[in-house]
């Protein structure tokens, strides 16, 4: 999770003083991978007397009643979100290594679980009022009601049950690029791609938080089709620019989630790097799909941005032709204008080089369609399940979301400056993904999704 902030801040409430500045909320919610002070304090329950009436909820409305008491008065003047020139601190930090016993309870069946595998640590009044902060540590909400943090200088741990991981393949441009490279332009998209959101079941145990090093994988590969396969370290190590969402309330086994209700089951989003061993993947993927070429590591950002914070950035869904089957049709705008960038810093480089600028709005299949299709056979999704977008590629070459595309299957080098180039990742390379939504005088940041490549370890 990165270095933990210690000591009290000047306002006495444990709030970060670094909004929008380096080391604080730079390109992120409260920080770029660092836990806020007090994250180690464990389960602390707020007293009813200290719970403020919310003006701008920082979490989905279905979960909000479990965090704050029902307000005694409404806020007629509050806007969502409040206008500020600083990064919006509307995210929940994700502690993938801090298993706790607290549980998040709502009316949804199965939301509490004794098997804790993932926790969301939430400051109860997450920066909702951080932009209006008069001297003395008190903050005024947009309606003028004083809204101090519910628990001074501490956080409350909310946990979710065992999480599964599913990765989709929902960028039409990425799927087209891959098809052209490996099958030719006449067969770029496989027959099912325009009719359903293609996905596969991934490995949840190797999903790690930003800052965790990634070991170069070893495995079988067949670089020469005229020769037998060989075993050794991956030589074509790649990154994939992705985003992912966490499931909030789940569904019972055998009960599909209709697309009209799918939004009620999506909690929030994170950045993701789906590390990929292209040479291992190529040799193994027929007929059952990815296995060792993907399961060695998947990095996510440490801050979960709730969907309520992203709703102002919704844009029209892409036109889908042919129209999907009725169970996948919806009119709700659920594609989001999220600016994304990828930088790469090799050993000896003083600065990271930007290799990709893309946007989440380029996705063809929406999260509502992904979740609905995932459950249509009766599969039960559970709180904490992680569903990923697949590689996000835009229409221009600089918006391609993988090295495989940027180097066009290794046929051209990617210029990093100062004489350095890449086709695929080398040991010591660090990949950093950032993302944010830009509003009028404010933005919602996702923090960083970073990982550094370590040399392979061969079995003894």
* Catalytic residue set: 174
Q: How far is CA 291 from the centre of its chain?
A: 22
Helix (H) or strand (E) holding 179: helix 172-183
Q: Running DSSP on this structure, what letter comes out for residue 164? A: -
Distance CA 120, CA 43 (A): 11
Token pair listed for 405: 């595309």
Residue 389, classed as helix, strand or coil, is coil
Distant-in-sequence, close-in-space partners of 438: CB < 8 Å, separation ≥ 6: 337, 339
Q: Which of 80, 82, 48 is nearest to 67 (CA)?
A: 48
Work out whether strand 443-454 and strand 87-88 pair parallel, antiparallel, or are unpaired. Answer: parallel
Number of other CB atoms surrounding residue 178 within 10 Å: 21
Print burial letters for 331-361: b (CB count within 10 Å at least 16), e (below 16): eeebbbebbbbbbbbbeebeebbebbebbbb
**Intra-chain end-to-end CA distance of the chain, in Å:** 31
Beta-bridged to residue 92, according to DSSP, are 304
Entry field: residues in the chain: 460
Distance CA 209, CA 207 (A): 7
Token pair listed for 168: 């989709």
- Give phi and psi for 315, each to the nearest 5: -125, 165
What phi-psi label fits residue 184: left (phi over 0), alpha (psi between -120 and 50 degrees) or beta?
left
């Amino acid at each position: 999770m990165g270095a933990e902030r210690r000591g009290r801040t000047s306002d006495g409430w444990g709030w970060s003083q670094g909004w929008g500045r380096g080391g604080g909320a730079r390109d992120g919610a409260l920080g770029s991978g660092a836990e806020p002070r007090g994250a180690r304090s464990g389960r602390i329950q707020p007293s009813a007397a200290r719970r403020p009436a919310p003006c701008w909820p920082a979490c989905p409305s279905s979960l909000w009643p479990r965090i704050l008491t029902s307000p005694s008065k409404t806020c007629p003047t509050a806007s969502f979100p409040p206008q500020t020139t600083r990064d919006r601190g509307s995210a929940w930090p994700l502690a993938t290594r801090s298993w706790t016993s607290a549980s998040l309870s709502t009316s949804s069946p199965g939301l509490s679980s004794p098997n804790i595998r993932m926790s969301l640590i939430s400051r109860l009044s997450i920066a909702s009022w951080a932009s209006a902060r008069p001297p003395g540590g008190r903050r005024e909400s947009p309606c003028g009601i004083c809204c101090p943090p519910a628990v001074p200088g501490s956080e409350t741990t909310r946990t979710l049950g065992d999480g599964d991981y599913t990765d989709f393949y929902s960028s039409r441009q990425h799927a087209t690029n891959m098809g052209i490279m490996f099958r030719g332009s006449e067969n770029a998209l496989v027959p099912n791609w325009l009719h359903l959101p293609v996905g596969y079941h991934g490995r949840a145990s190797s999903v790690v938080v930003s800052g965790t090093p990634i070991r170069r994988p070893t495995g079988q590969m067949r670089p020469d089709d005229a020769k037998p396969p060989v075993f050794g370290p991956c030589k074509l190590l790649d990154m994939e620019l992705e985003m992912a969402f966490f499931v909030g309330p789940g569904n019972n086994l055998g009960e599909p989630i209709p697309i009209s209700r799918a939004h009620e089951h999506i909690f929030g989003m994170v950045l993701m790097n789906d590390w990929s061993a292209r040479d291992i993947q190529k040799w193994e993927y027929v007929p059952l799909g990815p296995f060792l070429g993907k399961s060695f590591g998947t990095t996510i950002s440490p801050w979960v941005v709730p969907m309520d914070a992203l709703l102002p950035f919704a844009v029209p869904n892409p036109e889908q032709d042919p129209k999907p089957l009725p169970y996948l049709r919806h009119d709700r705008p659920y594609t989001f204008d999220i600016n994304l960038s990828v930088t790469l810093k090799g050993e000896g480089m003083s600065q990271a080089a930007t290799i990709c600028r893309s946007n989440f709005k380029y996705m063809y299949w929406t999260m509502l369609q992904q979740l609905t299709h995932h459950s249509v056979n009766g599969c039960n999704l559970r709180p904490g399940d992680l569903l990923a977008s697949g590689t996000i590629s835009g229409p221009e070459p600089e918006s391609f979301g993988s090295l495989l595309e940027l180097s066009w299957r290794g046929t051209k080098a990617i210029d990093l400056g100062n004489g350095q180039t890449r086709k695929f990742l080398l040991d010591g390379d660090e990949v950093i993904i950032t993302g944010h939504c830009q509003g009028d005088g404010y933005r919602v940041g996702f923090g960083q999704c970073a990982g550094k490549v370590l040399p392979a370890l061969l079995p003894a």
